[in-house]
Amino acid sequence: MAQLVEKPTAAVPRVGKQGDPCVMVIFGAAGDLTARLLIPALYNLSRADLLSKEFAVLGVARSQMTDEDFRKRLLDDVKAYCGDCIQDSHWETFARRFYYYAGDFGDDKLYSQIKDRLTQIDRDHDTHGNVFFYMATAPSFFGSIVEKLAANGLMQQDTDHWRRVIIEKPFGHDLESAKELNQKLLKLVDEKQIYRIDHYLGKETVQNIMALRFANGIFEPIWNRRYIDHIQISVAETVGVESRGSYFDHAGSLRDMVPNHIMQLISLTAMEPPISFDANAVRDEQAKILHAVQPFANQDVLTKTVRGQYGAGTMDGERVPGYRSEEGVPPESRTETFVAIRLLIDNWRWAGVPFYLRTGKRLPARNTHIVIQFRRAPFMLFRETQVETMMPNQLVLNIQPEEGISLRFAAKTPGTTMELGEVNMNFAYADYFGVTPSTGYERLLHDCMIGDATLFQRADMVEAGWRIVDPVLDVWKALPPRDFPNYAAGTWGPKEADELIERDGRRWRNFEQ
Ligand code: BG6
């Protein structure tokens, strides 16, 4: 493949200021998310010297543990997830700032005890009274924990200290429940104190969509319906539901991935240039795109959406079970593990340009990418080449696993006749910037510590995401699928997903690795 980019001689250093002094209180500190993502992210921040020296963690969960047990357990769990990412010498000083308190989230007394514990930690670590609470719990606790925190004065901020809360996804399970949760939270705290997290926004390449579009003069003039034929967004996963069968079976791929992660990718790709990088300026533009998505009428749901569920199949040469045989999944489950959708954005920039989205579990490759396909050249001079077989130009934003950008264009193949072939110009992040250990949560936790909400979801954005998928949820519920399972593990989803795009004379670009 053509490698037309010049590599710098040294890696570009990461930049950023240290987070404010503060305590991070993690509700659900004994769970998976804490060990798999939150603690490794804090550890990476600490290694990069982006944590204040006056920082501490208070873990809260039901299991009885001492501070020392908690530290030991975290170390074991983190090592189980990321192997040798931990350096024992650094861990020791890092983990000294960790404390633990056992309690039941529903128990009012817990909160006055947390208050006392925080006073003690503030005294020991000089955390300036700043606290952020991380809800790494089951979603049913989000509202009630914040309610009890507020009732105990723990969300009260002043000019000399701040209080914030990070809410994990899923934020509601449909539009109505998301609205209810927003109303409840907004009665207790100010919107500015709420950080609704979507870890896709923590990914460097997702943030880079804005850099690509708005820091380069060459793209903006062609970033519209005149030059772009269509956009494809694929979030393909090789994993099945792992140990999350019982959660996933109530959610399904649509709820799990579309109103949140995929809508972030769409809004960043399609938004107008914001007037600044102020949190609200960026989020206003994102929200406008979500509001401009053409609503699905019942009939549209039948023709513009596809759902699938994986059956048994072969992945990497090994047999894997179907979804209905996974742990925690009922044998008759009708939950979808694959979704494909064709949608339109009703504004001047995008009118008539289809956005094709798909996401699924147990697909042949782990790959998240956005394909921007440009229109064909209007007239083909090169008679020796079958024009219809040539793909038009595509700009591909690779979000993961290999982060990068590539542009596909036509070039003359060597020889005495004028024949054309397709070439790719590739830019890989790792070549330029090296690979820094990252979970995607580093940037988001750090942003919360410095009070920058740009990469967090505002109430209206969460609701706008649900408003788009709500009609699909309703129709799918009313018409349960009869053909599940309808794709084998290790394939690119049901054939209807191919038909969805092929009907329009286009086809998915599949990246096999
Ligand atoms: C989570 C979903 O939000 O995102 C999971 O609940 C999914 O089902 C995961 O696997 C995908 O995240 P990533 O970062 O691996 O693409």
Q: What tens digit of pLDDT does each residue of 69-114 get?
A: 999 999 988 888 777 778 878 888 999 999 999 999 999 999 999 9
Beta carbons within 10 angstroms of residue 256's beta carbon: 23
**Where do runs of H (alpha helix) occur along 48-98?**
67-82, 88-95
Res 397: pLDDT? 96
Ligand 1 atom closest to residue 235's alpha carbon, by position in its atom list: 16
The stretch 55-79 carries a mean pLDDT of 94
* pLDDT-wise least confident of 68-77, 250-259, 408-417: 408-417
**Which tokens sit at 418?**
């004028």
Res 6: pLDDT? 47
Residue 429 has pLDDT above 60, yes or no: yes
Cα of 101 vs centre of ligand 1, distance in Å, is 29
Residue-wise DSSP of 115-136? HHHHHHHHHHH--TT-EEEEE-
Res 11: pLDDT? 36
Cα of 338 vs centre of ligand 1, distance in Å, is 13
The Cα 441–Cα 337 span in angstroms is 25
The stretch 489-498 carries a mean pLDDT of 98
Q: What is the identity of the amino acid at 457?
A: Q
Show the ligand 1 pocket: residues with CB < 6 angstroms: 169, 199, 237, 256, 368
pLDDT in tens, 124-172: 999 999 999 999 999 999 999 999 999 999 999 999 999 999 999 999 9
Closest to 333 measured CA to CA, from 459, 268, 262, 249: 249
**Alpha carbon nearest to ligand 1 atom 10, residue:** 237
**Alpha carbon nearest to ligand 1 atom 5, residue:** 256
pLDDT band of 387, cuts 50, 70, 90: low
What end-to-end distance do the CA atoms of the chain give, in Å?
A: 15
- pTM for the full model? 0.93
Are 27 and 60 in contact, with CB atoms under 8 Å apart?
yes
Res 12: pLDDT? 38
The pick from 256, 329, 366 for probing ligand 1's pocket by mutation, whose C-beta has the most ligand atoms within 8 angstroms, reads 256
Residue 333 has pLDDT above 80, yes or no: yes
Q: Output phi, psi for 224, to 5 deg.
A: -165, 180
Residue 393 CB partners (closer than 8 Å, separation 6+): 373, 374, 407, 408, 409, 410
pLDDT band of 7, cuts 50, 70, 90: very low
The Cα 3–Cα 426 span in angstroms is 6
Closest to 398 measured CA to CA, from 223, 255, 133, 208: 208
The stretch 429-456 carries a mean pLDDT of 90
Residue-wise DSSP of 383-444? TTS-GGGSPPPEEEEEEESS-EEEEEEEEEPSSSS--EEEEEEEEEHHHHH------SHHHH
Q: Any catalytic annotation for residue 291? A: no
Residue 379 has pLDDT above 90, yes or no: no
pLDDT band of 2, cuts 50, 70, 90: very low
Give 476's DSSP letter. H
The stretch 353-357 carries a mean pLDDT of 98
Q: What is the identity of the amino acid at 113?
A: Q
Cα of 1 vs centre of ligand 1, distance in Å, is 31
**Alpha carbon nearest to ligand 1 atom 9, residue:** 257
pLDDT band of 386, cuts 50, 70, 90: low
pLDDT band of 15, cuts 50, 70, 90: low
Given 261, 291, 369, 446, which residue is catalytic? Answer: 261
Cα of 330 vs centre of ligand 1, distance in Å, is 22
Res 385: pLDDT? 60
Res 177: pLDDT? 98
Residue 143 CB partners (closer than 8 Å, separation 6+): 181, 184, 185
Query: Residues 473, 476, 478, 481: is their CA dihedral positive or negative?
Result: negative
Ligand 1 atom closest to residue 198's alpha carbon, by position in its atom list: 3
The stretch 423-435 carries a mean pLDDT of 89
Res 243: pLDDT? 86
The stretch 207-235 carries a mean pLDDT of 96
pLDDT band of 8, cuts 50, 70, 90: very low
Residue 213 CB partners (closer than 8 Å, separation 6+): 219, 220, 223, 269, 273
Are 372 and 224 in contact, with CB atoms under 8 Å apart?
no
Residue 201 has pLDDT above 80, yes or no: yes
Ligand 1 atom closest to residue 169's alpha carbon, by position in its atom list: 3
What is the pLDDT of the chain when averaged over all its residues?
92
The Cα 52–Cα 42 span in angstroms is 11
Task: Please list the residues that pair with 320 across neighbouring strands.
Answer: 313
Ligand 1 atom closest to residue 253's alpha carbon, by position in its atom list: 8
